[in-house]
Structure 1
C-alpha cells in the first residue's frame, strides 16, 4: 500500500514540474498560458494567482470533459494550451497534472513548491475580490495547523 507522498512521487516520472521563477517567466512569454488552481474554493477565495482558474481537485476529471455538471468549457477547450497546475504546496497539483496528461492535455506542468513557493519568491497573490494579499498574511495562512487527532499515533 502506498501513502500520499509515495503516490505523488510515482506520478513524477511522467509529470514536469516548474519552479515559481519559471512560472513568472512563462507568464511573460506566453499570454495564452492557463493557470489551473486545484485547491478548494475557500482556499482559492482567500488567495490565489491573479487570472488563475479554480477547478477543485475533487471535480477535475469531469471538469475536463463535456457533458458533466462540473464541465468547465474553457478547460475542456485547452488541451493544446500550455497549462500550469497549482495548489498550496505542489502535491495535489502533481496528481492533477497526471490526470490531465491521461486525459489528453499536451503541455501540462505542476508548480513545484505550490503557492507557498510562489509567495516565498515574493510573487503577488490576490483575494476573491482581486485585492492584493499581504505576503506576511499569506505566510501565516500557508503555515500548517495540524490538530492533535491529525498526527500519527505514537
Structure 2
C-alpha cells in the first residue's frame, strides 16, 4: 500500500497544470471543457469566471457528482 506522500506524488503526475493564458485558449477552443471553480463564495464575489461551475474546495467531493453532466 502506498503512503500518503507516495499517493500525492503519483496523483500529481496525472494532473496537467496550466496558466491563465493556456486556460483561456483551451476554453475558447473547446466547448466541451467544464471548468470547476473551487474558490470560496467570498472569493467568487471578487471576480466570477464566466461559464464555470463553483464548488468550494471543502465541498468538492460531496457535490461533484451532482454538478457535472
Structure-2-length-normalised TM-score: 0.71
Whole-Å separation in 2 of the counterparts to 1:12 and 1:44? 26
Please state how far the C-alpha of 1:17 moved relative to its aligned partner. 0.8
Q: Deviations over 1:95-122 (max 9, x none)?
A: xxxxxxxxxxxxxxxxxxxxxxxxxxxx
User: Which structure 2 segments of 5+ residues have no match?
Assistant: none
Q: Following superposition of structure 1 onto structure 2, how do residues 30-109 of structure 1 map, counting pairs within 5 Å?
A: 30-65=30-65, 71-72=66-67, 75=68, 77=69
Structure-1-length-normalised TM-score: 0.36
Q: Give the 3-state SS of the residue equivalent to 1:16 in structure 2.
A: coil
RMSD value, Cα: 2.1
Q: Deviations over 1:5-33 (max 9, x none)?
A: x8xx7342221111222112111211222
Structure in which a larger fraction of residues adopt helix: 2
* More RCO (CA 8 Å, sep 6+): 1
Q: Provide runs of 4+ in structure 1 moved above 4 Å.
A: none
- In structure 1, the partner of 2:23 is 23
Max radius of gyration: which structure?
1
